[in-house]
Chain A
């Protein structure tokens, strides 16, 4: 019997078999954001050294303000967190991409962009959306603070091997359908716990047709279906994307890596513990209506009626969600007025995301009463977007063009949607209070978010 992509990468990283499905795994790449400074300090306080500083890379994203014109010196209430990371990364010899230099940005945007995340590698970071990097054909997952300390000290991690699930997206994408819509549709289908206990491989013709940036978006939401690992087999699209990137292998090492990577895809006779098939004909542009990514619908649908839900616990969850969101069952989703639009986050802030949003914004105006932000995912994305004039397109349309960071996705830097206001956001979580206490979040693709900004309500991008 053949092996899956996941099994092959897992096997290549086993340092010791600990029995009962457990292994001590080697970490190829450890990514740190500004939350990691405290861990580095803690390690130093315990008198321990970072075992392999050259296998760790750091940047500043979570607490940094994204105010236009921000510099390294811009003060913030959370400067102490940033200072700790700067100080201890420097002491440990860890490469830190700091404010204003190419390489700074959201950690899950910069590591692929800089060629740090590679196929066949094992990548961890103290952030649940580390699954993003699986889009390049890696095992990548989020870890907690204690596990992070373990990685710093030993370059390894103790993990239980998960089961394997394959999701095949078959058929072709319809108009207006993006990778974000594919994965939101999937979460609505298998529900938010559908992937618990699995590593999920995304496959099928519609996945093969995705660009790398779209694959990163697809894998980014794996954790929202309960799987901490999502991955896609590397192929020519992957190699073309990686070749020539700043930290990607070059010369003879590139050739050797390429030969190795070509052996990674799942064998034809490999068996998965669970298989799901999604027919792309059924996937329309999506918008969430609730407080969990599984509470999602095609944008041309109506707010669902909890009375139609037979399961009492689920019905109560729907009632609570609609109450929080201020929505009335039976209303067309497109009749929902919007106060804020946020285009950004590790899900959807890459150049192609901004291009898609700009295509909608071009020649239009943000509707009265709507505040619309564009927060590029990295300094490199920002510069590339400005080089092709996207900043001008957004500014002319009345969007605010900001500096790279996580910003309003999780609002850790104090950039929040005000209480009771409604946001269409390209981020990954519509949890209660996620974008600020009392904020109401609808998740959607960048084009759909831009459509909401220019119409002032949730809008079907296909009808614009």
Chain B
């Protein structure tokens, strides 16, 4: 997994509440494409009109936001479906970090699996950051520093954010969760032996009532 340490980049404001993962990547793209092919279909319904032409009023079609690597999102960002393709599509577009007041819970977990950082900040803080970015026409960059757990606004204003220590450590070092868990195989084996003795009905080997 790609490590995440510090990022200074263009941040695209997308303050709508409840943006869902269906909106981020359509289901037929999830079905038909490889993860690395999804970037051009991120926010497809918003970026493109039904005839395939670009929708000029959508923020990610505008300069300088076409080069955004950060999204300033609204509450409940990426709610809905568990599709990890939502993260792959954003990553394919170039996004490495989303800052929002809250996230869809499965999306947040999927971010951590892909070196993408979901930063939770209070709604007022995200709004202030958004206002500042927009006042600069989008050219003023935002810094996200995972070492110090801080978001630095273009003005220099710093906002601390909290992130769970295990998630932070894995992102900073680009660690693969699966590799770490495989080292715990003896604990898993011991758990299963205990659990199988205590709750044998949870370990079926066949149908009980064919």
Which residues does A use to contact B, with CB under 8 Å?
12, 15-16, 18-22, 24, 26, 28, 51-52, 54-55, 63, 78, 81, 115, 118, 120-121, 126-128, 130, 141-147, 149-150, 153-156, 158-160, 162, 192-193, 196-197, 223-224, 226-228, 244-251, 253-254, 256-257, 260, 292, 294, 313-314, 316-317, 410-412, 414, 419, 429, 431-434, 437-438
**Complex: chain B residue closest to A311, CB-CB:** B17
A66 to B60, CA, bound (A): 37
Nearest opposing residue in chain A for B199, CB measure: A260
Interface set, chain B 1-47, CB cutoff 8 A to A: 15-18, 20, 22-23, 26-28, 30-31, 45
The 7 A-B residue pairs with the shortest CB-CB distance in the complex, in nearest-first order: A249-B201, A144-B84, A146-B113, A193-B76, A144-B110, A142-B82, A250-B208
- How far, in whole Å, are A193 and B28 apart by their CA atoms in the complex? 26
| Contacting pair A142 B182 (CB below 8 A) | no
Contact across chains for A197 and B178 when beta carbons are under 8 A apart? no
Using a CB-CB cutoff of 8 Å, which residues 72-123 of chain B contact chain A?
74-76, 79-84, 87, 102-106, 109-110, 113-114
Q: Within the complex, which residue of A24, A156, A431 is in contact with B23, where a contact is CB–CB below 8 Å? A: A431
The contact of B209 among A130, A149, A246, by CB within 8 Å, is: A246
Q: Cβ of B57 < 8 Å from any Cβ of A?
A: no
Q: How many A-B residue pairs have CB under 8 A?
A: 194
- Per-residue A-contact encoding for B140-167, CB less than 8 Å = 1, 0 else: 0000000000000000000000001110
- Find out whether the CB atom of B74 lies under 8 angstroms from the CB atom of A150: no
Tell me whether B201 and A257 are in contact (CB under 8 A).
yes
Nearest-CB residue, chain A, relative to B77: A193
Partner of A412, one of B28, B164, B185: B28
Would you call A19 and B166 a contact (CB within 8 A)? yes
Docked Cα-Cα span, A432 to B17, in Å, equals 14
Contact B192 A192 (CB under 8 A): no
B-side residues, CB < 8 A to A, are 15-18, 20, 22-23, 26-28, 30-31, 45, 50, 74-76, 79-84, 87, 102-106, 109-110, 113-114, 164-166, 177-178, 181-182, 184-185, 187-188, 191-192, 195, 199-205, 207-210
**B82 contact from A55, A115, A128, A246, Cβ within 8 A:** A128
Taking each of B23, B80, B177, which has the highest tally of chain A beta carbons within 10 Å of its own beta carbon?
B80
- SS of A interface (majority): loop
12 A–B contacts from the bound complex (CB under 8 Å) = A12-B199, A16-B184, A18-B166, A81-B31, A143-B82, A153-B181, A154-B181, A155-B192, A254-B201, A412-B30, A429-B80, A432-B23
A67 CB, min distance to chain B CBs, angstroms: 18
Q: Is the CB of B23 within 8 A of A196?
A: no
Cβ contacts under 8 Å, A260 to chain B: 199
**Contact A432:B22 (CB < 8 A) given known A128-B82, A197-B105:** yes
Contact residues in B for A81 (Cβ distance below 8 Å): 31
Q: Would A154 and B182 be within 8 Å (CB), given that A21-B164, A248-B208 are in contact?
A: yes
* A126→B82 contact, CB < 8 A: yes
Contact A128 B17 (CB under 8 A): no
Q: A193-B79, A437-B50 are contacts. A247–B84 as well, Cβ < 8 Å?
A: no
Who on chain A is nearest to B84 by CB? A144
Whether the pair B31, A78 counts as a contact (CB closer than 8 A) is: yes
A110 to B140, CA, bound (A): 53
Within the assembled complex, what's the spacing in Å between the Cα atoms of A245 and B79? 34
Q: Are B201 and A192 in contact (CB under 8 A)?
A: no
Q: Given A228-B106, A253-B200, A256-B201, is A146 in contact with B84 using a C-beta cutoff of 8 Å? A: yes
Residues of B within 8 A of A150 (CB): 177-178, 181
Residues of the A chain whose Cβ atoms lie less than 8 Å from the Cβ of B76: 192-193, 196, 226
- Taking a contact as CB atoms under 8 Å apart, the answer to whether A26 and B191 are in contact is yes
Q: How far is the CB of B171 from chain A (nearest CB, A)?
A: 13
- Do A144 and B113 touch across chains, with their CB atoms under 8 A apart? yes
Asked whether A146 lies within 8 Å of B110 as measured between CB atoms, the reply is yes
B18, B82, B102, B103: residue with the most chain A Cβ atoms closer than 10 Å: B82
In angstroms, Cα B188 to Cα A145, docked, is: 21
**Are A294 and B18 CB-contacts (below 8 A) given A153-B178, A249-B208?**
yes
CB proximity of A12 to chain B, nearest CB, Å: 8
Partner of B203, one of A55, A223, A316: A55
Contacts of A12 in B (CB 8 A): 195, 199
The closest CB in chain B to the CB of A52 belongs to B192
Would B164 and A20 count as touching, CB distance under 8 A?
Answer: yes
- A154 to B176, alpha carbons, bound, how many Å? 14
Select from chain B the residue with minimum beta-carbon distance to A250.
Answer: B208
Contact indicator B187/A128 (Cβ below 8 Å): no
Tell me, in angstroms, the Cα distance from A433 to B75 when the chains sit together. 21
CB of B45 within 8 A of CB of A433, answer yes
Given A118-B202, A193-B75, A412-B30, 19 new contacts (CB under 8 A) = A18-B166, A19-B166, A115-B208, A128-B81, A128-B82, A142-B106, A144-B110, A147-B110, A159-B109, A193-B76, A197-B105, A226-B76, A246-B210, A257-B201, A292-B18, A414-B28, A429-B22, A429-B81, A438-B50
Question: Known contacts being A24-B184, A26-B195, A433-B45, is A143 close to B201, with CB within 8 Å?
Answer: no
Residues of B within 8 A of A294 (CB): 18
Contact call B184/A15, Cβ cutoff below 8 A: yes
Least CB distance, A66 to chain B, in whole angstroms? 16
Asked whether, in the complex, the Cβ of A15 is within 8 Å of the Cβ of B188, the reply is: yes
CA distance A19 to B202 in the complex (A): 27
Whole-angstrom distance between the alpha carbons of A227 and B200 in the complex? 30
Query: How distant is B178 from chain A, measured CB to nearest CB, in Å?
Result: 5
A247 and B207 CA atoms in complex are apart in Å by: 5
Cβ of A248: which chain B residues have Cβ within 8 Å of it? Answer: 208-209
